[in-house]
Amino acid sequence: MKKTLLILIMTLAGAFAADVEKGKALYLEAQCQKCHLQGENFDPNSVNKAGKVSKVKDVQGIHKWVQGCDNYFSIGWFPEEQDLVSRYLNAVFYHLEK
């Protein structure tokens, strides 16, 4: 029983890490780093404005912005891909619970 639980937890953690990796790949492929840099250096306001002041308050907010920049730059991500990118940004930069 304990072993099953452990395997379940490890599988979930593995799936989570894989999603973050996919999100990272999408992010780099779309060249978001040109303005926002990457990883923990993610710059919410991009190189155009000074200061790392984020307007995001929750995970939904990250998603809204990812969607916004996706549309604006005509990347053409599917909602699931926007979700992966949001998860990547939350994992490396925002660290928001919900």
Q: Which residues bind ligand HEC (CB under 6 A)?
A: 27, 30, 32, 34-36, 44-46, 48, 54-56, 62, 65-66, 69-70, 73, 75, 85, 89
Structure tokens that stand for 91 in this block? 């994992």
Nearest-approach distance from CB 14 to ligand HEC, in angstroms: 24
Kindly tell me which of 8 and 58 has the beta carbon lying closer to ligand HEC: 58
Q: Which residue is nearest to ligand HEC (CB)?
A: 32
Contact 66, 82 (CB under 8 A): yes
Identity at 22, one-letter amino acid code: K
Nearest-approach distance from CB 23 to ligand HEC, in angstroms: 9
Residue 55 and residue 78: Cα distance in Å, rounded?
23
Kindly tell me which of 11 and 60 has the beta carbon lying closer to ligand HEC: 60
Nearest-approach distance from CB 35 to ligand HEC, in angstroms: 3
Residue 59 and residue 68: Cα distance in Å, rounded?
14
CA 4 from chain centre, in angstroms, equals: 30
Kindly tell me which of 8 and 35 has the beta carbon lying closer to ligand HEC: 35
